[in-house]
């Protein structure tokens, strides 16, 4: 009986407090072990924490927030870091930055989302912005997790992840 290796996916944003956190938690929820998600920021603030509204909307959706924390992408460039198969930027700032060298040269894609933490208005309006962002992320992740299990190589992963960005 052969063991299928999980596909490691790293979601990048600037601060690693909202969109990348939503994507990490959601893919770990949907991926059922076939996918293992991580997230990081290019420039997290000192003592950065996941946005409380991101955690609240994940919990309302029945998605675990256990272990979520904001971290720098430097953690994933180290020799002992998990090997990434796919790196997806989820904000335009991170997409335009020069990324560190990722061991193994993983496939890359950009899935842009507006920053829900920049929404002004009532608490309900802010929470709704996070809910809409989670919904948009989940739509794309549903497509990713439904790729055929057999024969997913780096080129297919990159092509499909970039195609999904258009959906």
Q: Which residues pair with 12 in a beta bridge?
A: 40, 89
48 among known catalytic residues: no
- What would the two tokens of residue 91 be? 């904000």
Tell which residue, 73, 93, 90, 69, has the closest CA to residue 81.
Answer: 73
101 among known catalytic residues: no
- Spatial contact of 165 and 137, defined as CB atoms under 8 Å apart: no
13 among known catalytic residues: yes
Of 84, 86, 90, 91, the active-site residue reads 91
- Spatial contact of 27 and 9, defined as CB atoms under 8 Å apart: yes
- Please give the angle made by the CA atoms of 127, 133 and 139, to the nearest 5 degrees: 135
Q: How far apart are CA 156 and CA 136, in angstroms?
A: 22
Of 7, 9, 10, 13, the active-site residue reads 13
Of 30, 99, 147, 152, the active-site residue reads 99
Q: Alpha-carbon Rg of the chain, whole angstroms?
A: 15
- What would the two tokens of residue 87 be? 């790196």
- Spatial contact of 125 and 119, defined as CB atoms under 8 Å apart: yes
Q: Which residues carry out catalysis?
A: 13, 91, 99
């Amino acid at each position: 009986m052969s063991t299928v290796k999980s596909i490691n996916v790293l979601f990048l944003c600037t601060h690693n407090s909202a969109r990348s956190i939503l994507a990490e938690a959601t893919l770990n929820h949907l991926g059922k072990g076939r996918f293992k998600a991580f997230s990081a920021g290019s420039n997290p603030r000192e003592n950065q924490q996941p946005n409380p509204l991101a955690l609240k909307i994940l919990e309302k959706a029945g998605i675990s927030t256990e272990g979520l924390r904001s971290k720098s992408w430097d953690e994933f460039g180290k020799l002992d870091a998990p090997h990434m198969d796919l790196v997806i930027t989820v904000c335009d700032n991170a997409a335009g930055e020069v990324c560190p060298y990722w061991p193994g040269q993983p496939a890359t894609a950009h899935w842009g989302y507006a920053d829900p933490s920049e929404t002004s208005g009532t608490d309900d309006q802010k929470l709704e912005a996070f809910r809409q962002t989670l919904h948009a992320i989940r739509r794309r992740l549903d497509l990713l997790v439904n790729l055929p299990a057999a024969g997913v190589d780096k080129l297919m992963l990159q092509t499909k992840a970039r195609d999904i960005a258009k959906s």
